[in-house]
A and B are shown apart, each in its own frame.
Chain A
Amino acid sequence: MKLPVTITVNGRALARDVEPRLLLVHFLRDVAGLTGTKIGCDTSQCGACTVLVDGIAVKSCTCLAAQADGSDITTIEGLATDGQLHALQDAFWNTHGLQCGFCTPGMVLAAHELLRTTGTPTPEQIRHGLEGNMCRCTGYQNIVRAVQHAAAAAGGAR
């Protein structure tokens, strides 16, 4: 059995028939061909698969494609606009907030959620806000700095 779904990914509507059990992360990677979203675990711990569903950060391994029917998804590929890096991407680059880069797409989008909900978070708030996203390379320190920088840049832009 297949279910028809229409999911808008980075502004492009995709109408597909999918298996009911298809995970959103597999829809994004294998159906939409957007491999920027990563799979780092199978227990919803690592957060590498974090995307924005209707603007809210969701671990896309915890969500079926069928549940995302009608949703508007932003993946890491859709964050930069007109070739300009998003303030968060810029901040991660400027502060050496990534090493191997595998956790980075999910980390950036989780940080996006944090800034959406918290504005100008303290380092403690950032550490707490990102505890659902795992990184094995950076020790998180420069990720915290990156989010601080991005928050400051956004504050300056307001």
Chain B
Amino acid sequence: MTVTAAPSRVFGSGIRRREDPRLLTGTARYTDDMVLPGMVHAAILRSTHAHARIRRIDTSRAAAAPGVLAVFTAADAENVLKPVPCLWLVPDTNLKIGTYRALAKDVVRYVGDAVAVVVAESPYQAHDALDLIAVDYERLPAVVDPKKAAEPGAPQLHDVAPDNIAFHWTVAGGDIDAAFASAEVVVRDRIVQQRLIPTAMEPRSALAHFVPATGELTLWNTTQNPHIVRFATSVVTGIPEDRLRVIAPEVGGGFGSKIAQYPGDLITVMCSMKLGRPVKWTESRSENYQATTHGRDHVQDVEVAATRDGRVTGLRCTVWAGMGGYLSTAAPGIPTILHGLMLSGPYRIPAVKEDVFGVYTNTTPVEAYRGAGRPEATFMLERMMDKVAQATGLDPVEVRRRNLIPPFENGHDVVTGLKYDSGNYEGALAKALTHVDYDGLRAEQQEARKRGRYIGIGVATYVEICGLGPSQVAGAVGFQGGLWESAIVRFHPSGKVNVFIGASPHGQGEETTFAQIVADELGVGVNDVKVIHGDTENTPMGWGTYGSRTTAVGGAALAVATRKIKEKAKLLASHLLEAAVEDIDYAGGRFFVRGVPDTYKTIQDIALLANVAWNLPQGMEPGLEATSFYDPPNFTYPFGAHVAVVEIDAETGHVQLTRYVAVDDCGPQINPVIVEGQVHGGVVQGIGQALWEQAVYDDNGQLLTGSLADYAIPRADVLPDIEVLSTVTPSPHHPLGVKGIGEAGTIASTCAVYNAVMDALTPFRVQSIQMPLTPERVWRAIQDQRKGA
């Protein structure tokens, strides 16, 4: 027998996803698809007022309605549910947490605040009975704009925060006063990062089954982080963690909106605890828009100091970040840690200072939304880069080139205190510009203008922070948990492998990419590896899938576990081959004595012999399995450069996105097809913010964009193909060099498109338009300038 060449690596290959057959045939099971014997249905009555005192709730008619088993209000929850916890307590911010009850007591603080719950035999009966509950509200004045809410005299939401300020966080580095004192050029802007609604296609759902006889709770839940839900549900209900099982079955997208510990889930749990029956609650889309978290919602006052030759010397800003009526699970960390620390982006900016005010408003609570803090930082920075270009007369690309951090492979300290891992920002920018033919486009733009056509080119370079993160840092910044991941890799006697992970992918395809990692590391067939996730009862602890961390942290845990397995396998091979362990070589899943490759043990041989344990070396435990807990030494910092090209119809204000080029660097790609898919989706969500999406509240706090008929997520017919390219700069500290790609597209694309539109409008001297850049807003901006002229 001869050793054949190792098969070409499955790491890096764009194989088809194993998740897909069940999803394509309708056999996948999401939470709302679950049915249990004796299951009953909950429906939640939600506040119709943004701010009101509850005088009285009459549930008697509802309780007597057909099929209704129970109606509960805050009074019933009093001794069952503690308040919903906030789990990111950013230190040194004077954090003031308004009590967040699953069922509102005395006061409602946003349209959608839960007031009562009906449990009935059928969902139709439960919803019918909602109409029979009479709530006597005393309306209170409401405030929805974060900046206005922070002004004196604004309506107040929580007694603990008399000025509505939930927290005030600052970051500073370098001598900002000196930077502005000596500035040759100063540019300013007020940027509104409008409120967005994540709109994962699957609405949220919970199925709770509490068994009074055992005191055990099983909760099926649409969540990105079942282990955190178990932890937080235990805190709120008092059910010990060992009797609490959370299962995230198939989850239909999240984008941050399935991180939080939600009132609706806890209410469902309470209903099951009280009735001793399985209770299911599934929100409608309109309910989702009111009660599932929103994202962004910043008002940013920003100014940048620069030299006449376009070198940025300082960035100073104040941000009012709307938090909604209550602080959601991770909300305080998003406009602070995940935003402010990234203020200098990919540039050498010697001084920055930011003040962030987290402000309570009478709106749906805000949480992470794809990018979570980094899009808000990137937009600010990239917008200001274009303003510096305008003020200095330089090309926007040239301004970026003059400020970019030069390539580095192993660490670069930035002014906010972070250490970026690796980067080649110029390389990504050059690749994007070459691909799009930037110079050619500029020439075309000039020609087009002569003929009354308005083409715009927008550039955004970015670096983001993901792979969250070292647990020591998590603790230092107030995150009430760790940020490590764990994995168990188990060989069966047959040589097949089960992988158990604590992370919880929900559409990103890690069942496939993690199998690729394991197959590659262990030299087994990719189809011999099954990845199991989403059930706290049979997976090890993990802190969840968000912040582009699952592959960056969970993937690392997996790699480390496989390497432990190889160590043990090598010991057993040395025993079986009767050679010193130092003399054993490994290649392509085979162990052999150095120089004698024809006599070998495959990893499957070793797995069988380790499992039957007939002949193990002295002291070796049976089995071939490894567990790893991986706590990353640093964050990872993906980066890239995006270019958008638009054409504007000056008579209608319509923006046509004609080309979009994305160059992203997430390190080595495990599956380039999946990476490309992540970029497509991310870019399109960012385009949505630039052009179409906005959660609109009226002054009374009514959500005007309260359904999918009113809130405009991108549809197929309004988009061009995204041209996806990449560069590869490995992370020096990661076992596989990988960085994460889930959010990159969203972080870069909003500003690339915005800059393109503003570039197209240069002849009209339009300085700023509030997003989304709808035809009406663009047309008005043009008209205002024409009138002014």
- Write the residues of chain A forming the contact surface with B, with a CB cutoff of 8 angstroms: 19, 21-22, 29, 33-43, 45-46, 48, 75-77, 79-80, 85, 89, 92-94, 96, 98-105, 108, 123, 126-128, 130-131, 133-144
Contact = CB atoms under 8 A, between A and B. Distances in A.
Contact of A127 (B19, B33, B35, B717): B717
The 7 closest A-B pairs by CB, nearest first: A36-B26, A100-B507, A101-B23, A102-B252, A139-B684, A139-B680, A76-B26
A39 to B, nearest CB: 7
B658 interface: no
22 contacts: A37-B26, A38-B252, A41-B707, A43-B285, A43-B708, A45-B708, A99-B677, A99-B681, A100-B201, A100-B251, A100-B253, A100-B507, A101-B20, A101-B24, A101-B507, A102-B252, A127-B716, A127-B719, A136-B253, A140-B680, A140-B684, A141-B722
B709 interface: yes
Contact of B677 (A103, A108, A133, A138): A138
A100 B33 contact: no
Interface string B694-718: 0000000000000111000111110
Nearest to B285: A41
B717 A102 contact: no
B29 A35 contact: yes
Residue with the highest number of chain A CB atoms closer than 10 Å, among B24, B673, B674, B722? B24
Contacts of B251: 100
Interface string B232-255: 000000000000000000111101
Contact of A39 (B32, B676, B715): B32
Given A101-B20, A144-B721, 10 more contacts: A22-B124, A29-B33, A80-B25, A96-B17, A100-B250, A100-B251, A123-B721, A134-B715, A139-B714, A141-B721
Residue with the highest number of chain A CB atoms closer than 10 Å, among B25, B202, B674? B25
Number of chain B interface residues as a range: 35 or more
B284 A42 contact: yes
Nearest to B199: A136
A77 B21 CA distance: 11
By secondary structure, the B interface counts as loop
A85 B681 contact: no
Contacts of B707: 41-43, 45
Contact of A96 (B26, B201, B677): B677
A102 B30 contact: yes
A110 B28 CA distance: 19
A104 B30 CA distance: 13
B286 interface: yes
B274 to A, nearest CB: 24
Contacts of B676: 96
A22 B28 CA distance: 24
Contacts, number: 171
Contacts of B716: 126-128, 130-131, 133, 135, 140, 143-144
Residue with the highest number of chain B CB atoms closer than 10 Å, among A38, A92, A123, A139? A139
Residue with the highest number of chain A CB atoms closer than 10 Å, among B20, B202, B674, B709? B20
By secondary structure, the A interface counts as loop
Interface of B: 16-17, 19-21, 23-30, 32-33, 35, 124, 199-203, 250-253, 255, 284-286, 506-509, 673-674, 676-677, 680-685, 707-709, 713-717, 719, 721-722
Given A35-B29, A100-B251, A46 B507 contact: no
Nearest to B674: A96
Given A85-B21, A101-B19, A134-B201, A42 B286 contact: yes
Given A38-B202, A100-B507, A128-B717, A142 B26 contact: no
A138 B717 contact: no
B27 A139 contact: no
Contacts of A21: 124
A131 B715 CA distance: 5
Nearest to A147: B716
Contacts of B508: 99
B69 to A, nearest CB: 18
B24 A131 contact: no
Contacts of B285: 40-43, 46
B201 A102 contact: yes
